[in-house]
Structure 1
Amino acid sequence: MEHITIAAVQPHLRAGGTNPVSSAQHVINLMKKASETEDVDLFVLPELCPLGYSDDTFDMLADQCIASKVIEEIDHLMSDCAKDLSCCICYGTIGIDSISSANKPTIRQKVVDKDGKVMCSYDKIHLCDYGDCVETRYFQPGHK
């Protein structure tokens, strides 16, 4: 490969009361539109995109059963999109499989390949606890 085309996508923040799955579909539509004019090898989405970054979102996803269903559906959508667009996608989610005795998930970035398979993931090690942003209320740090 002589070069790689990377597209960074910065969608609007998900509005309160909006379903994270419909927000994921909106982000997918943005990636599909970008793919119409350029062959993209890798789409990079922000932290916790498309779940949303707000206390309302974190409170909603505190229920592990709800969070599991939402994350599973979004993972499926991102996997299908990667296959449809024949590209890799790096997106933000939460790591509920990493819940420990702290009973909190991690903030996770996942990368899926052109076949829709997870290539790698990263659980955020250094959480943000500055001013009004206190990620440790909802999340635990990753370990690797």
Structure 2
Amino acid sequence: SYIKESGFSRLHVFKFSPRRGTRAAEMGAQVLPEVKEERSRKLLALGEELSRTFQERFLGRKLTVLFEKEVEEGTGNACYGLGVPVVPGRDYRLSEGLTSNYLRVRALTPGNWRGKIGEVLIEKSFRGYLQGTLVNS
């Protein structure tokens, strides 16, 4: 409940594993492996929920994105299946970058935008990234 109410954007979950010679390894009443597994599973699921909730707060907003790379599947006809009108003769790329608060964002860009900064109107939220439209091309 505390973690859920915190508003974290993501969680990093790992299980304790004792290391020989450490005080923690010498302590009695170690947590059973199946209990660790169940706790990890619950925290990972909560982390997914928190990440999704955090990302969805940005739907409909314009975010500044530093584009880092082209997404592999976007090379070539990047508009196919995205519902984006194609301008004949324009070289579209599905580019990906980060916002100032480390949200991963994908958008169609006219050509290579690696290293460039652009404003993106956020329209969709997916697991691990947001998708939007570049508004200053």
Q: TM-score range by the shorter chain?
A: under 0.3
- TM-score of the aligned structures, taking structure 1 as reference length: 0.26
- TM-score of the aligned structures, taking structure 2 as reference length: 0.27
Q: Give the greater-gyration-radius structure (CA).
A: 2
- Kindly indicate whether structure 1 or structure 2 has the higher relative contact order, using CA contacts under 8 Å at least 6 residues apart: 2
Q: Structure 1 or 2: larger strand share?
A: 2
